[in-house]
Amino acid sequence: MSLVGPAVDATEVWFRLRLNADDIRAVRLCQEITRPRMGPPMVRKPDSSVWQVHIPRPPVDRLEYQYQLEHTDGTREITLDPHNSRAAPGPFGERSVLEFPGYRPPAWLDGTHGRDARYVEMTVSSDVLGARVPLGLWASPGLDVEREAPLLIAHDGPEYHRYSGLLRFVSAMVAAGQLPPVRVALLPPVDRDEHYAACPRYARALAREFVPVLDWLAPQPPRRYDGRSWRVGIGASLGALATLHAHRRYPGLFGGMFLQSGSFFQRHVDGLESGFPRFDRIARFVATVTDSATARRPIPVGMTCGTVEENLLNNRRMRDALALQGYDVEFAEHRDGHNWTSWRDSLDPHLTALLRRSWHEA
């Protein structure tokens, strides 16, 4: 086992950090796989500058982590592991990454597709939200402006592109013949914790303001015999909730949904999330879905969730509820946590399969 840095065996994961500063009085491991998130505290080896801690090996293929250093003056700082060169990006900064034996990143990351793709940015004024919202529209290589094609609408779109490689993934699948030529709309949140939390105003802005602009810029084939749209919505965490909420309020909006680690909070299983400002509104909406016996317009749904996520139970219950209401649901549990790399790693084959089911006539 290495003297410093992370190490893993069949049952445990060890973290060892060398600190040459004399003003450090405490060090804690920060990770989001098990609770408590902050901790356990690391122990300094006698007559050494090395701090260490070990935890039971979790049932995942990779683990993101940081260290919290507490100085003698009481100040604290978060740092990456200087003994580990692997790091994962994210909207709240990088995290060090421990990849367990057997982990392999997606093969599509090795490709160089999409260099000739077309990407345009625009700004849409939303009277409903009282904001000017920037939207991005990407078209796979060779797709003419006037050519009809399916449309994928991504909540947290810029983050999906930046941290999960969504456009790179779609381009690779089109080049491989797994998907038809397609357009992807990247929607950034305006006020994520408010608008993505089962917010009727946001659903109305999406359906009445954003989508009409996208439909004008991204022509799609006529609706099919069953009336389903060629638009597919995708979202992760609160973005998945916003996608489902918009569909339930406007059933013709999407012809398919891909929901990753949805924040489908329920009062009796998600007490740890009860401090979230919009928890009650989310729980009320989720209850209207899970308590329903039927749905106005069931559509194909793909769902993924990490094996160690606190959202796993509410995602399983949402899967069961949607299936009973006639939705064509495919659900996959992925050996990771609640993070953008996990969502990236489960795009294929699961998003590929959902899009093929949604766009089977394309």
How far apart CA 182 and CA 150 sit, in angstroms, is 5
Kindly give, in sequence order, each residue whose CB lies less than 8 Å from that of residue 47, ignoring residues fewer than 6 positions away: none
How far apart CA 110 and CA 279 sit, in angstroms, is 40
Confidence of residue 212 (pLDDT cuts 50, 70, 90): very high
State the DSSP code for 62. Answer: E
Could you tell me if 71 and 39 are in contact, meaning their C-beta atoms sit under 8 angstroms apart? no
Kindly give, in sequence order, each residue whose CB lies less than 8 Å from that of residue 66, ignoring residues fewer than 6 positions away: 30, 31, 78, 79, 80, 81, 95, 96
Q: How many C-beta atoms lie closer than 10 Å to residue 12's C-beta? A: 12
For 275-325, the pLDDT digits (tens) are: 899 999 999 999 999 999 999 899 999 999 999 999 999 999 999 999 999
How far apart CA 234 and CA 246 sit, in angstroms, is 11
- Predicted local confidence at residue 37, as pLDDT: 79
- Predicted local confidence at residue 170, as pLDDT: 96
Confidence of residue 132 (pLDDT cuts 50, 70, 90): very high
User: Nearest-CA neighbor of 260 among 286, 232, 234?
Assistant: 234
Confidence of residue 223 (pLDDT cuts 50, 70, 90): confident
User: Nearest-CA neighbor of 128 among 201, 177, 56, 69?
Assistant: 201
- Predicted local confidence at residue 362, as pLDDT: 52
Sign of CA pseudo-dihedral 47, 48, 49, 50 = negative
Of the two residues 212 and 360, the one the predictor is more confident about is: 212
- Predicted local confidence at residue 299, as pLDDT: 96
Retrieve residue 242's tokens.
């916003």
CA angle at residue 187 from 184 to 191, to 5 degrees? 165
Give the global pTM: 0.94
Question: Which whole number is the average pLDDT over 215-219?
Answer: 93
- Predicted local confidence at residue 48, as pLDDT: 87
Q: Which amino acid is at 189?
A: P
- Predicted local confidence at residue 272, as pLDDT: 82
In this predicted structure, the answer to whether residue 36 has a pLDDT above a threshold of 80 is no
Confidence of residue 110 (pLDDT cuts 50, 70, 90): confident
How far apart CA 350 and CA 362 sit, in angstroms, is 18
Domain boundaries, the chain: 5-99, 107-358
Average pLDDT value over all residues in the chain:
93
Question: Which whole number is the average pLDDT over 26-45?
Answer: 86
Give, in words, the CATH class of 5-99: mainly beta
Residue 31's Cβ-count burial label (10 Å; 0-12, 13-18, 19+) is: buried
Question: Which whole number is the average pLDDT over 210-219?
Answer: 95
How far apart CA 74 and CA 62 sit, in angstroms, is 32
For 8-31, the pLDDT digits (tens) are: 999 999 999 999 888 999 999 999
Q: How many C-beta atoms lie closer than 10 Å to residue 48's C-beta? A: 11
Residue 328's Cβ-count burial label (10 Å; 0-12, 13-18, 19+) is: middle
Could you tell me if 362 and 143 are in contact, meaning their C-beta atoms sit under 8 angstroms apart? no
Please give the CATH architecture assigned to the domain spanning 107-358.
3-Layer(aba) Sandwich (3.40)
- Predicted local confidence at residue 20, as pLDDT: 87
- Predicted local confidence at residue 1, as pLDDT: 46
Residue 336's Cβ-count burial label (10 Å; 0-12, 13-18, 19+) is: buried
In this predicted structure, the answer to whether residue 166 has a pLDDT above a threshold of 80 is yes
Of the two residues 269 and 62, the one the predictor is more confident about is: 62
In this predicted structure, the answer to whether residue 361 has a pLDDT above a threshold of 70 is no
- Predicted local confidence at residue 198, as pLDDT: 98
